[in-house]
Structure 1
């Protein structure tokens, strides 16, 4: 049965946005030989959170899975443990410009207020589901 866009539930839209975001990020980063998870690892290394903590929602918790993300970054000289190297910082700055351009495209026509409201609603729904017992 065909369902018009107006009748599609939130779960459909969440899956579609997730799929399109993953595809878009992979295409943007592929030119630099990176995956989205590797971008996230570099970005996490520049912040206060550990790479493992930042990637936890996207990985199973298997250390080999995390190593598969970070080892190529170490081999490129961009990471040393959880720390960005000077070359890693330079790469992150160049990649950030590409990611910001993609984010602008994704949020075109969406006001800061709409974006904030959407994130707030999704956060509350997440909290509701985490606290629910089914």
Structure 2
């Protein structure tokens, strides 16, 4: 049975948006040899965070220490991350990557007002709290 877009429930749209976000950010970062999770790790390492901050930031996306190491070890090998913080090279890489990521975020939210975006996030936050 075909279900029109108007009849698809929120769960369907959440999965679809998640899938499309993952694919689009993987494409944006592929030229730099990075995954979205590696981008997230670099971003989490920026500032006064430590590896616990990285683990915490990536916890919803990874299932344990082995997966975390698979994300962070290549960043250490590139000289962008030491155990707890970004290196100077990592900071430069993050700055350059941030420009690409911000451009992609603008494409993703094109036609969505700040009010609509904030309302959507607020609704999803309340739904998550209800489910927790």
TM over 0.5: yes
Structure 1: runs of 5 or more not aligned: none
Structure 2: runs of 5 or more not aligned: none
2:94 pairs, out of 92, 101, 116, with 92
| Helix, strand or coil at the partner of 1:57 | coil
1:51 pairs, out of 48, 51, 54, with 54
> Given the alignment of the two structures, is residue 107 of structure 1 paired with residue 109 of structure 2, yes or no?
yes
Alignment of 1:30-41 (within 5 A): 30-41=30-41
Following the alignment from structure 1 to structure 2, what is the Cα–Cα distance between the partners of residues 34 and 12?
28
Runs of 4+ in 1 over 6 A off after TM superposition: none
Alignment of 1:21-36 (within 5 A): 21-36=21-36
1:68 pairs, out of 67, 70, 92, with 70
Following the alignment from structure 1 to structure 2, what is the Cα–Cα distance between the partners of residues 14 and 65?
24
Superposed CA RMSD: 0.8
Q: What are the superposed Cα offsets for residues 14-41 of structure 1, whole Å, 9 maximum, x if unpaired?
A: 0000000000000000000000000000
Q: 1:17 to 1:47 in 2, by over 3 A?
A: farther
Following the alignment from structure 2 to structure 1, what is the Cα–Cα distance between the partners of residues 114 and 91?
28
TM norm structure 2: 0.96
| Helix, strand or coil at the partner of 1:89 | helix
**How far did residue 65 of structure 1 move?**
1.0
**How far did residue 48 of structure 1 move?**
4.5
Q: Specify the alignment match of 1:5 in structure 2.
A: 5
TM norm structure 1: 0.94
